Structure formats: C-alpha cells, structure tokens
C-alpha cells in the first residue's frame, strides 16, 4: 500500500481543459499566462480584508516529439545534436521546472495542474506525493502495480528489482504556492525516443509504458477519464 495520506474532502473548484496535441512552446506560454494571472491575483489579495478566491486549473495535453531539460539537469544528458534532433523531428527546450531531462511525445498523457496550493495544502512534498498517488491508482485500474523509488520523483514499476522501470515522470515549479508544469504518463508512447537521452539523469534504469506493461493497446481518452477521477478524489477537486 502507498503511504500518502488522503487530504481534505472539501470540494475545490478547478477548471479542466484538454488542449489535445499542442506544441510544447505554445503550451508553456499558455501555462505561464495562467500562472502569472493567479500569482498577480494573490499579490493583489493582500490589500483586501476578505480576499477573492483564486482560480485553479488542470490541463491535459500531448506534445509532438520534444525533449525538455529541468533547472537541475545536465545538457549532456541529451545525446543528440541539432542534426540528430532534426532527423528525429524533435525539439529541445530548457525549462524552469525542477528535475533533469525527459521526453514528451504522442501517446503520452501530460498533465499540468496550475493550482493555488493555499486552496489545498501548502506542502510541495505532499503535492508531489499526491500526484504520484493519483498515477499509482490509475495504473492499478489496469492491473499494474506502480510504486515510488526512494530518492526519486515519479512512478515506477518493480522499483526494488533490477528490472525497475519508470512509467511516469514529474517536474514542477511553484511560486507563492502556485504550481505549474506537472507529470508525464507513458500510455502508448514510442519508447525508442528515450534512447536519445539519459532519462531524468538515470542511466541504469529502463522506461516503460502502460501499453507495454499490459500487452495491449490502451485508449488515451479512457486513461484521461480514470486519472481525472483519481486526481479529483485525492485533491478534493470539483472539476468544471
């Protein structure tokens, strides 16, 4: 059993948006715009005795082939030069999230919760663990046992075995308790693209997908529905 405590059941209004297949830079810009408005709102709230509630968002998307490097990552964990990126029809971005390098592409469910944690709980560690818990519960729906790997973020399969493999990466940014970036769950992802990086800076572990683990195709829309329910339950969200 996982050890993340269940947080308050109180409903929190969260706007859900599905952006479909979206260019990474476009999605980043849209996130930054929403993020900045919420932070600005919080700053303005300091002048009011009865602050107006801030908004929260949960965004699902997919990206065309792209590699992204977090603030604590190493550029040499990308094993392709510009010519190689071109051959793979992939882009590369340095980002302001935490974590090292990872890959996004079609068949991967990317989630961007832009939440004011003052509306939920002001604990980044609990926030990350709760995202992981939602993924673990989603995998369990398909008969797959996800787990945590001590010392690392994300969700893993068989973390205690030599066959340990990562199925979901996490990388977040937070300012004034407002979050952005999020998680990337491999559903039917082309795992070959991970061979062009040192995924999350870990060079001795495999990467997997839900489709690979259960041995059959999985509809991304179905996984979205399951994961929305898990996130709603664990965060006490009321999605609109």
The full set of domain ranges for the chain reads 64-239
pLDDT confidence tier of residue 191, bands split at 50, 70 and 90: very high
The residue among 188, 189, 187, 207 whose CA lies nearest residue 197 is 207
215 CB burial (10 A radius; 0-12, 13-18, 19+): exposed
Tally Cβ neighbours within 10 Å of residue 3: 7
Q: Give the mean pLDDT of 5-14.
A: 58
Q: Is 200 a catalytic residue?
A: yes
pLDDT confidence tier of residue 10, bands split at 50, 70 and 90: very low
Residue 1's pLDDT is: 43
Helix (H, G, I), strand (E, B) or coil at 106: coil
DSSP 119: G
CATH entry, 64-239, from 3.10.20.520, 3.30.930.10, 2.60.40.420, 2.40.50.100: 3.30.930.10
Tell me if the pTM is above 0.95.
no
Candidates 114, 200, 210, 234; catalytic one: 200
Residue 232's pLDDT is: 96
Q: Give the mean pLDDT of 103-111.
A: 98
Q: Is the pLDDT of residue 28 over 50?
A: yes
Return d(Cα 203, Cα 20) in angstroms, integer. 31
**137-149 b/e with 16+ CB inside 10 Å = b?**
bbbeebebebbbb
Q: Give the mean pLDDT of 141-169.
A: 95
Residue 50's pLDDT is: 63
For residue 167, give Cα distances in angstroms to 98, 186, 193, 194. Answer: 18, 6, 14, 12
Residue 134's pLDDT is: 98
Sign of the Cα pseudo-torsion (77, 81, 82, 87, in order): negative
Q: Is the pLDDT of residue 132 over 70?
A: yes
| pLDDT tens digits, one per residue of 58-85 | 999 999 999 999 988 899 999 999 999 9
Contacts of 146 (CB under 8 A, 6+ apart): 135, 136, 139, 140, 155, 156, 157, 167, 168
């Amino acid at each position: 059993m996982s050890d993340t405590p269940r947080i308050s059941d109180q409903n929190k209004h969260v706007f859900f948006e599905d952006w479909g297949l979206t260019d990474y830079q476009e999605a980043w810009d849209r996130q930054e715009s929403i993020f900045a408005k919420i932070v600005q709102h919080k700053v303005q709230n300091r002048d009011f005795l009865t602050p107006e509630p801030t908004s929260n968002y949960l965004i699902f998307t997919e990206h065309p082939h792209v590699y992204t490097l977090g603030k604590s990552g190493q550029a040499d964990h990308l094993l392709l030069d510009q010519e190689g990126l071109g051959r793979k029809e992939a882009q590369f971005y340095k980002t302001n999230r935490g974590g090292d390098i990872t890959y996004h592409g079609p068949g991967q469910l990317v989630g961007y919760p832009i939440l004011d944690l003052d509306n939920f709980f002001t604990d980044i560690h609990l926030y990350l663990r709760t995202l992981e818990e939602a993924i673990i519960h989603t995998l369990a729906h398909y008969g797959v046992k996800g787990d945590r790997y001590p010392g690392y973020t994300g969700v893993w399969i068989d973390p205690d075995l030599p066959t340990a493999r990562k199925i979901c990466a996490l990388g977040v940014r937070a300012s004034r308790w407002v979050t952005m970036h999020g998680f990337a769950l491999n559903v039917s992802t082309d795992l070959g693209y991970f061979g062009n990086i040192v995924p999350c800076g870990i060079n001795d572990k495999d990467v997997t997908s839900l489709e690979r683990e259960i041995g059959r195709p999985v509809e991304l829309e179905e996984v979205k529905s399951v994961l929305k329910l898990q996130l709603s339950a664990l965060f006490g969200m009321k999605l609109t």
